[in-house]
Amino acid sequence: MKKILLLHTLLLSLFLAAGCAEKPKPQLTENQKAGLRKDAKEFLDSLKNVLVKEMQTNGIVAAVAVCSDTAQILTVNYGFSKGIYIKRVSLKYRNPNNAPDGFESKVLNHFSELNSVGKLDGNSEFFEVINSDGVYNVRYMKPIFVQAPCLNCHGSNEQISPDVKTLIQNKYPDDKATGYYPDELRGAVSIQKTL
Residue 41 has pLDDT above 50, yes or no: yes
Q: What is the CATH number of the domain that holds 34?
A: 3.30.450
User: pTM, whole model, 2 decimals?
Assistant: 0.84
- Residue 21 is assigned to a structural domain of this protein: no
Using a pLDDT cut of 90, give the percent of the chain over it: 75
Does a structural domain hold residue 2?
no
Residue 19 lies in a domain: no
- State the Cα angle at 175 between 74 and 44, rounded to 5°: 30
When comparing pLDDT for 9 and 179, which is higher? 179
Q: Give the residue numbers spanning the domain of 110.
A: 29-194
| Strands across the sheet containing 85-89 | 85-89, 185-194, 135-145, 126-132
The answer to whether position 6 is within a domain reads no
The tally of domains found in the chain comes to: 1
Cβ atoms < 10 Å from Cβ of 37: 16
Task: Determine the Cα–Cα distance for residues 14 and 21; give it in Å rounded to an integer.
Answer: 11
- Is 23 inside a domain boundary? no
Residue 10 lies in a domain: no
Alpha-carbon torsion (129, 106, 88, 33), positive or negative: negative
Instruction: Confirm whether 20 is domain-assigned.
Output: no
What's the average model confidence in pLDDT over 68-89? 93
| 16 within some domain | no
**In the predicted model, is pLDDT for residue 68 greater than 80?**
no
Q: Are 189 and 86 in contact (CB under 8 A)?
A: yes
Q: What is the pLDDT of residue 25?
A: 84
The one-letter code for the residue type at 135 is: V
The per-residue pLDDT for 14 is: 47
pLDDT band at residue 12 using 50, 70 and 90 as cut-offs: very low
Please tell me what DSSP assigns to residue 148.
Answer: G
Q: How far is CA 45 from the centre of its chain?
A: 14
* pLDDT, mean over the chain: 89
pLDDT tens per residue, range 105-164: 999 999 999 999 999 999 999 999 999 889 999 999 999 999 998 999 999 999 999 999
- Write the DSSP string, 46-109: HHHHHHHHHHHHH-HHHHHHIIIIIHHHHHHHHHHHHTSEEEEE-SS-SSGGG---HHHHHHHH
The 10s digit of each residue's pLDDT in 17-29 is: 445 556 788 899 9
The closest of 72, 5, 78, 96 to 38, measured between CA atoms, is: 78
